[in-house]
């Protein structure tokens, strides 16, 4: 049986970011969950020009196995479209369902590199149109409803069930109660809140819901982007950076405990040039976050983050190596670049190298999901037939009763009319019924 695979991209994660999260969350008593993976490798992130990558080129390398220029999504340096992993699975393993989840909107660089083929990561309209034109993902969850809204009716016309902020605000478990395919924008903002700004992780909650939905159909591939480690690096904000790295670590711990789910973790690049310079002895008198819950745990995390003395050398990306981890696949020693992640998945599934120019899967018609295996038209037709039979039966029954009543009434009137000018008059003063003559 083919495995279900969750690919976690921790945008902006570097070695020092991982170490900071480990120190805050576990102290000296434990390790980052990545270090428990079967395969752990340092990998380079450079783009096709061997220059500092952005998230568009970094995401494209991971999703297609081909490095490209910055700002380009799902296309190579010559603007030729590249087949991404979701399209590969749709063609070669149609039994898979696929999904993309991010803390940012679906048209942002990393999620868009799994959904689109466009030349400019900043062209939001072109990106969402490209998702409509190409995407075969069965599940898409992000933020930024203002970006989705102009295209919402088009997605509905293709067959997507749409989830908008008002739905999510009313029911936090709306995803597990919505049928595939679905596209969701949870709020009107650019991103889901930073981990340290909410008592319980929204990202972990929706990922677990999504996996429950996807797992009902068989094997699945899901890309989850822990998007805001990158934001903490760009803002040079240690609380944002370390907090969202902790969230990623907690998510990974939950994933590796899931039966029949294989997990991969990677970053597209490091952000911030992070170093830890504080006197860590000051942590000895601060309890560990696991000794509390919710907001109290965050207060403890904040105290521990303040002790780290985190310094940033840049507000941009750096050329620091990042960490690749794979759990459930067995050991691997050959992964050296972000583009090798796609090679790793292909070789594991089929024993063949990815061929990015095999062609993209374009949407040729509306209702593209009607032929998906999780649609059950035979069952739906039978259900409709049963409903129709019940309705017809009730209608016939009512008609029969009305018909019988009508016949009785007709016979009754004929008998009464046999006496010319006579009718029965009901008196209400307790007198007996009398027959009155009408001239």
Q: Which residues are annotated as catalytic? A: 55
Q: 387 a known binding residue? A: no
Instruction: Label residue 128 exposed, middle or buried (CB < 10 Å: 0-12, 13-18, 19+).
Output: buried
Number of other CB atoms surrounding residue 346 within 10 Å: 18
Q: What is the DSSP letter of 337?
A: B
Q: Mapping DSSP to helix (H, G, I), strand (E, B) and coil, where does residue 360 land?
A: coil
- Check if the beta carbon of residue 341 is closer than 8 Å to that of residue 264: yes
Closest to 32 (Cα-Cα) out of 43, 21, 48: 21
Instruction: Tell me: is residue 234 an annotated ligand-binding position.
Output: yes
Coil vs helix vs strand at 45: coil
Residue 264: its H or E element: strand 261-266
- Is 427 in contact with 434 (CB distance < 8 Å)? yes
Tokens, residue 431: 């007198």
- Omega before residue 181 within 30° of 0, cis: yes
Structure tokens at 391: 């309705």
If one counts every other C-beta atom within 10 angstroms of the C-beta of residue 368, the result is 18
Nearest residue to 270 (alpha-carbon basis) of 26, 42, 25: 42
- The answer to whether the annotation marks 269 as part of a ligand binding site is yes
Helix (H, G, I), strand (E, B) or coil at 310: strand
230 assigned binding-site residue: yes
Closest residue by Cα to residue 144 from 107, 117, 180, 110: 107
Distance from C-alpha of 183 to C-alpha of 136, rounded to nearest angstrom? 11
Asked whether residue 108 is marked as a ligand-binding residue, the answer is: yes
Q: Which residues contact 299 (CB under 8 A, 6 or more apart)?
A: 292
Which residues are part of a known binding site for Zn(2+)?
A: 11, 230, 234, 268-269
Residues annotated within the binding site are 11, 108, 110, 225, 230, 234, 268-269
Q: Which residues are annotated as a binding site for Mg(2+)?
A: 11, 108, 110, 225
């Amino acid at each position: 049986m083919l495995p279900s695979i969750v690919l976690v991209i921790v945008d902006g994660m570097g070695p020092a970011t991982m170490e900071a999260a480990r120190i805050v969350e576990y102290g000296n008593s434990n390790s980052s969950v990545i270090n428990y993976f079967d395969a752990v490798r340092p990998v380079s992130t450079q783009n096709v020009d061997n220059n500092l990558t952005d998230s568009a080129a970094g995401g494209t390398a991971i999703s297609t196995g081909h490095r490209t220029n910055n700002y380009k999504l799902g296309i190579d340096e010559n603007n030729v479209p590249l087949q991404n992993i979701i399209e590969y699975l749709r063609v070669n393993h149609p039994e898979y369902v696929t999904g993309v989840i991010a803390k940012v909107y679906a048209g942002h660089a990393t999620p868009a590199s799994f959904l689109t083929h466009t030349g400019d990561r900043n062209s939001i309209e072109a990106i969402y149109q490209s998702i409509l034109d190409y995407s075969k993902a069965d599940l898409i969850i992000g933020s930024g409803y203002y970006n989705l809204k102009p295209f919402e009716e088009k997605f509905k016309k293709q067959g997507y069930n749409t989830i908008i902020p008002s739905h999510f605000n009313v029911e936090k478990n709306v995803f597990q109660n919505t049928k595939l395919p679905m596209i969701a924008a949870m709020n009107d903002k650019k991103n889901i809140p930073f981990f340290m700004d909410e008592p319980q992780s929204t990202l972990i909650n929706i990922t677990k819901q999504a996996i429950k939905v996807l797992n009902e159909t068989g094997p699945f591939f899901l890309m989850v982007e822990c998007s805001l480690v990158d934001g903490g690096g760009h803002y040079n904000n240690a609380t944002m950076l370390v907090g969202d790295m902790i969230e990623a670590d907690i998510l990974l711990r939950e994933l590796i405990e899931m039966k029949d789910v294989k997990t991969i973790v990677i970053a597209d690049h490091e952000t911030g040039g992070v170093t830890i310079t504080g006197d860590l002895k000051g942590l000895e008198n601060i309890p560990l976050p696991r000794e509390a819950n919710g907001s109290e745990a965050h207060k403890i995390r904040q105290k521990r983050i303040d002790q780290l003395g985190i310094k940033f050398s840049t507000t941009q990306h750096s050329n620091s190596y990042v960490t690749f981890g794979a759990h459930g696949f067995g050991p691997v020693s050959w992964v050296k670049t972000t583009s090798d992640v796609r090679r790793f998945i292909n070789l594991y599934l089929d024993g063949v190298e990815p061929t990015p120019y095999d062609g993209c899967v374009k949407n040729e018609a509306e209702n593209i999901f009607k032929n998906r295996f999780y649609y059950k038209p035979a069952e739906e037709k039978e259900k409709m037939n049963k409903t129709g039979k019940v309705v017809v039966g009730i209608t016939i029954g009512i008609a029969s009763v009305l018909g019988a009543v009508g016949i009785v009434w007709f016979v009754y009137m004929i008998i009464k009319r046999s006496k010319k000018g006579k009718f029965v008059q009901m008196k209400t003063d307790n007198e007996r019924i009398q027959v009155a003559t009408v001239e």
